[in-house]
């Protein structure tokens, strides 16, 4: 048994590990763990602790994937509910669809019994409002947000350089592999922006025959190269986990134009080998790993690749 998660998973991974030890299926165990992270105000890249979009609204992206059936549920730009990953699971269980977005995702959440709740943390609202007042021209501030927003997208900067996602990957004692993602997305994003977190094959993918992969940081890049699916497909074609990740990184490095930044790849194979690779992120990237028999998850530092 194995669980791999990024550093924001500090509280949630312990819960997932305990549930896995108690023989809960891997997808259910991961969902419960990541749901704790979504409600942790100390985690500033997901759920309640995240940052709003350009007009001060919280929009959540999340996804789940069962690697044995390869069923997927995902939500994008979900508002009014912190339980984004649980809503994503309900999409997988109840609908013939894979992804719901925006008003449709919020409507579905209510149908499933997720009551609307406060999702914008007061401190996040304060920081956002201060930034808007400093960025928007004085003659336009009274009309905000009913002004052209696209020109602001290159002026407003992330308060903590947050382009991160919470990712959980794992395998249970039956050999089933699953992956979950959740994020509040890029701070100050244009309303309606989707990152890679709810996009199958870009920000996540799982196949119990071969492994799982999930990405964090610059989703605008992994959507262009289908990074997560690239890794799993490479292993399906006979490459090792290490070589599969190398292939995906080489593809990312060839991107030209558009918004380019760093990407962190979390990946495992069906034999429970794993790697976490920091591609072009200037900061030190940490992550969590737990294996069957460990008393507590262990924090490690991702290997750095720079091109």
Query: Which are the catalytic amino acids?
Result: 165
Q: How far apart are CA 170 and CA 185, in angstroms?
A: 23
Tokens 């977190």 identify what position? 197
Residue 186: strand, helix, or coil = coil
Q: How far apart are CA 304 and CA 262, in angstroms?
A: 11
Contact 165, 38 (CB under 8 A): no
Among 303, 289, 201, smallest CA distance to 242 is for 303
DSSP symbols for 242-290: HHHHHHHHHHHHT--SS----EEEEEEETTS-EEEEEES-SS--EEEEE
Total residues found in the chain within this entry: 307
Residue 177: how many other CB atoms lie within 10 Å: 26
- Taking phi over 0 as left and psi of -120 to 50 as alpha, with beta for the rest, 116 belongs to beta
Enclosing H/E stretch for 216: strand 211-217
- Taking phi over 0 as left and psi of -120 to 50 as alpha, with beta for the rest, 66 belongs to beta
Q: How far apart are CA 16 and CA 21, in angstroms?
A: 9
């Amino acid at each position: 048994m194995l669980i791999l998660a990024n550093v924001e998973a500090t509280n949630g991974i312990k819960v997932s590990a305990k549930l896995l030890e108690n023989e809960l299926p891997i997808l259910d165990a991961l969902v419960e763990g990541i749901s704790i992270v979504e409600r942790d105000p100390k985690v500033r890249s997901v759920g309640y602790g995240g940052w709003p979009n350009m007009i001060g609204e919280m929009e959540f992206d999340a996804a789940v994937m069962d690697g044995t059936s390869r069923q997927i549920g995902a939500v994008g730009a979900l508002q009014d509910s912190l339980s984004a990953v649980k809503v994503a699971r309900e999409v997988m269980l109840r609908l013939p669809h894979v992804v719901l977005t925006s008003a449709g995702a919020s409507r579905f959440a209510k149908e499933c019994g997720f009551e609307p709740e406060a999702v914008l943390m007061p401190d996040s609202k304060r920081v956002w409002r201060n930034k808007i007042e400093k960025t928007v021209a004085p003659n336009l501030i009274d009309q905000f947000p009913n002004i052209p927003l696209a020109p602001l997208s290159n002026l407003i900067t992330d308060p903590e350089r947050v382009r991160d996602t919470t990712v959980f990957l794992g395998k249970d004692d039956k050999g089933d592999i699953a992956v979950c993602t959740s994020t509040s997305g890029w701070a100050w994003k244009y309303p309606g922006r989707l990152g890679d977190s709810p996009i199958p094959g870009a920000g996540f993918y799982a196949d119990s025959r071969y492994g799982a992969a999930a990405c964090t940081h610059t989703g605008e890049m992994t959507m262009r190269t289908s990074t997560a699916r690239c890794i799993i497909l490479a292993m399906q074609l006979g490459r090792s986990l290490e070589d599969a990740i190398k292939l995906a990184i080489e593809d990312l490095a060839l991107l030209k134009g558009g918004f380019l930044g760093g990407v962190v790849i979390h990946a495992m194979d069906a034999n429970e080998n794993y790697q976490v690779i920091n591609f072009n992120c200037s900061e030190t990237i940490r992550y969590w790993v737990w294996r069957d028999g460990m008393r507590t998850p262990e924090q490690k530092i991702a290997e750095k690749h720079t091109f």
